[in-house]
Amino acid sequence: LFKSTFGTRKIKQYFIINKTFSPSQEPQRKRQQKENIPKETVQTEVKKDRLHTTEQNNNNVNTDKPETKMSMSARHYSMPQQMAHDGKSAETRNLRPNEVSTGTTIMAIPFEGGVIMGADSRVSTGSYVANRVSDKVAQLHDRIWCCRSGSAADTQALTDYVKHYLSSLAIETGRCPTVKVAAHLMRRLCYENKDRLLAGVIVGGWDPVDGGSVYNIPLGGTCIKMPFAIGGSGSTYIYGLVDSEFKEGMTKDEALTLVKKAISHAMARDGSSGGIIRTVTVTEESNDREFVPGNQLPYGPAGW
């Protein structure tokens, strides 16, 4: 702005003629020329104004933010103490407004002739347990089931839609739908509404085409056929356990034992998983439902 107003040539002449003044001192220079005040007096007044402004700024800083000396131990304990008294747990402290923390543990393992599906029974809203004996294993068709994680309302609505579509398909075609069809129906609903849903689902069951099969549909709507599937907040605690214990071609009893063992370990470590273990054994002949009470779990917290 200064350059465009005066021009480069005029700026040079201005500073050559007025060596003792900067552009910010222009009002003092004009006053000096008008009143014939000595240059030394004007420069002294400018210095005093600058010193006065600096002192005011320093005073404002000192009054607004007083210096406090804090020991190392006080610094170490100040943040945990603040977090301990804000009324929120570690799970709910970083949530957005109107967002609640949810958690669960779901699992499915296929075996030769069917599939084992299991889940815990705790429904949590943040640090509050809303339901301790809920059923997270829902039936979609005669030999097709799904395990639900995420928002209870969202997953209940999804299972109702898929159950309706599969019933209509079975009537129209005159034969039972496959697990793959059920999984891709669920995948389409989850993917096309992923901005509005909080749902992670495992679809599994038996059909004459593939036998026992498992499909994992996590948040976002991806659909993947897997040798075994685990999901929910408790799954992060048992990936290593399941990787070490799982093997191809497991029998029905081995798969059922692993599902109960893995879910009980997740319930012991994850605060959002708990209650009892519900399992479903799906075969060509039947659907066998079982549950393990909370006082008979294969594994419990340390000290049990």
**Residues with active-site annotation:** 104
Strand-strand pairing, 287-292 and 137-141: unpaired
Q: What string of DSSP letters covers 259-303?
A: HHHHHHHHHHH-TT--S-EEEEEEESS-EEEEEE-GGG-S--STT
DSSP label of 232: S
> φ and ψ at 287, to 5 degrees?
-120, 115
Identify the bridge partners of residue 280 per DSSP, sorted by sequence position. Answer: 117, 289
The Cα 265–Cα 257 span in angstroms is 12
Give Cα 185 to chain centroid, integer Å: 25
Closest CA to 202 of 268, 253, 256, 155: 155
- Helix (H/G/I), strand (E/B), else coil: 136: coil
Give Cα 286 to chain centroid, integer Å: 38
Helix residue ranges, H only, the chain? 2-6, 8-17, 26-35, 39-64, 72-84, 152-173, 179-192, 239-245, 252-269
The Cα 175–Cα 170 span in angstroms is 5
